[in-house]
């Protein structure tokens, strides 16, 4: 019996594939600090649970395929504060940003069509594109260059007649990059010149540090008709389990096409939309406090890593991840070793292997993605453990030099 080539060639999620090793370690009584997954420990606003508890209909019915109008209005309202004027017709609610991505890919790409993505990138773009048989074409960026976009010329080399879109994760997962307006306009100019879409994954838009200005792709007027924004409440309000996201575009024809996909799966979850409506009335101060908290965590992780012999990384400016080069023979081997063979007083750390965040073969083999989603004290402890693990790891590739 044969399965599809698309599924056989799919790599397991680097964020989740090592979960069985973690489960095994846990069973043996080890405490694990999870830095592999972007699961914040911040309390979900109580308003979510209250709204869900207040649901009074006797029948938990399908909602509208476009999503709950109150939630759509709340999202339009949210974007208004950022200078992006949206009408109800520009927003459809989806099952997390994940569904929004698949919808965008399916609507823009036929089998063999190409999607540009600066790499390293959110690993799940791979299976999402493979699901619709589209091809990810990576634009390599490097830690040493702060993961900045390359020149127009070297980006243009990757464009073919089959290029249908570029995915811009902004702020970037896993690099933490926040693009400058100039970089964004470089992308916009290419999109206009070569007639492709910009799929802007802006789920981390509230996580920007160093008082940097954040510009949304929705703010670029001259590509208004070729921008698709993906968004979600998951990270913004620490409500990952709600699976509520949205797809946004001012291109009416595109939205008419995407509506067919929305209708095919009937509707997003009803109760979670109730909760999400309430989330959007959370005072802005919540987001500011969360932002401050993450900036503190970022500082703790970055400083600790800078202090580890042989570790190479850049200060991330947004989101809550870092791509980190480790002095190890193979990052995946190292992570498994940390789970199976290492502990510091019964505790260890789990990271995501970096290779899965690259499309170019061979890249990222000695890198990991770390999420700084734990409380200060836990994060500091996790860094101690990582440091000790790196020093003890048999596959270490560089001598330990005391700072």
User: According to CB under 8 A, which residues from 315 to 334 bind its own copies?
Assistant: none
Which of 143, 271 has the CB closer to its own copies? 271
Which of 99, 332 has the CB closer to its own copies? 99
CB of residue 121 vs its own copies: minimum separation in angstroms? Answer: 13
Q: What is the 3-state secondary structure (H, E, C) of the chain?
A: CCCCHHHHCCCCCCCCCCHHHHHHHHHCCCEEEECCCCCCCCCCCHHHHHHHHCCCCCCCCCCCCCCCHHHHHHHHHHHHCCCCCCCHHHEEEEEHHHHHHHHHHHHHCCCCCEEEEEECCCCCHHHHHHHCCCEEEEEECCHHHCCCCCCHHHHHCCCCCCEEEEEEECCCCCCCCCCCHHHHHHHHHHHHHCCCEEEEECCCCCCECCCCCCCCHHHCHHHHHHEEEEEECCCCCCCHHHCEEEEEECCHHHHHHHHHHHHHCCCCCHHHHHHHHHHCCCCHHHHHHHHHHHHHHHHHHHHHHHCCCCCECCCCCECCEEEEECCECCHHHHHHHHHHCCCECCEEEECEEHHHHCCCCCCCCCEEEEECCCCHHHHHHHHHHHHHHHHHCCCECCCCCCC
Which of 19, 155 has the CB closer to its own copies? 19
x-marked contacts with its own copies along 87-126 as a string, rule CB under 8 A: --------xx-xx--x---xxxxxx-x----------x--
Residues 343-402, interacting with its own copies (CB under 8 A):
none
Residue 24 found at the interface with its own copies (CB under 8 A): no
Which of 81, 253 has the CB closer to its own copies? 253
Which of 53, 83, 87, 395: binder of its own copies (CB under 8 A)? 53
Residue 8 found at the interface with its own copies (CB under 8 A): yes
x-marked contacts with its own copies along 262-301 as a string, rule CB under 8 A: -xxxxxxxxxx--x--------------------------
Which of 12, 152, 398, 400: binder of its own copies (CB under 8 A)? 12
Residue 167 found at the interface with its own copies (CB under 8 A): no
Which of 113, 343 has the CB closer to its own copies? 113
Residue 40 found at the interface with its own copies (CB under 8 A): yes
Which of 52, 392 has the CB closer to its own copies? 52
Residue 226 found at the interface with its own copies (CB under 8 A): yes
CB of residue 46 vs its own copies: minimum separation in angstroms? Answer: 9
Number of chain positions touching its own copies (CB under 8 A): 84
């Amino acid at each position: 019996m044969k399965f599809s080539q698309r599924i056989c060639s799919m790599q397991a999620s680097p964020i989740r594939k090592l979960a069985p090793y973690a489960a095994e370690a846990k069973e043996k009584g080890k405490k694990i600090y999870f830095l592999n997954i972007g699961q914040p420990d911040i309390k979900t606003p109580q308003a979510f649970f209250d709204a869900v508890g207040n649901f009074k209909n006797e029948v938990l019915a399908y909602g509208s395929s476009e999503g709950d109008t109150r939630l759509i209005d709340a999202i339009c309202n949210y974007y208004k504060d950022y200078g992006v004027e949206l009408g109800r017709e520009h927003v459809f609610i989806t099952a997390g940003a994940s569904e929004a991505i698949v919808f965008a890919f399916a609507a823009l790409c036929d089998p063999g069509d190409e999607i540009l993505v600066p790499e390293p990138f959110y690993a799940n773009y791979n299976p999402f594109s493979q699901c619709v048989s589209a091809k990810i074409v990576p634009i390599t960026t490097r830690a040493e260059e702060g993961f900045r976009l390359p020149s127009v010329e070297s980006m243009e080399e990757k464009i073919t007649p089959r290029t249908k879109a570029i995915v811009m994760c902004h702020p970037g997962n896993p690099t933490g990059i926040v693009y400058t307006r100039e970089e964004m306009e470089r992308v916009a100019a290419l999109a206009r010149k070569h007639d492709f879409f910009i799929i802007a994954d802006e789920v981390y838009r509230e996580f920007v540090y160093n008082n940097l200005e954040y510009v949304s792709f929705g703010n670029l007027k001259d590509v208004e008709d070729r921008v698709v924004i993906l968004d979600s409440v998951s990270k913004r309000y620490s409500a990952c389990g709600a699976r509520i996201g949205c797809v946004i575009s001012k291109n009416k024809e595109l939205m008419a096409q995407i509506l067919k996909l929305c209708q095919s799966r009937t509707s997003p979850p009803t109760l979670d939309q109730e909760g999400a409506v309430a989330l959007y009335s959370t005072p802005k101060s919540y987001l500011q406090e969360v932002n401050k908290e993450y900036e503190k965590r970022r500082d703790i992780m970055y400083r600790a890593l800078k202090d580890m012999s042989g570790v190479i990384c850049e200060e991330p400016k947004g989101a809550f991840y870092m791509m980190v080069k480790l002095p190890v023979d193979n990052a995946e081997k190292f992570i498994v070793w940390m789970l199976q063979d290492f502990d510091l007083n019964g505790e260890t750390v789990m990271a995501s292997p970096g290779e899965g965040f690259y499309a170019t073969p061979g890249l990222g083999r000695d890198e990991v993605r770390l999420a700084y989603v734990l409380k200060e004290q836990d994060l500091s402890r996790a860094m101690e453990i990582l440091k000790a693990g790196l020093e003890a790891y048999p596959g270490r590739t560089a001598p330990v030099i005391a700072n």
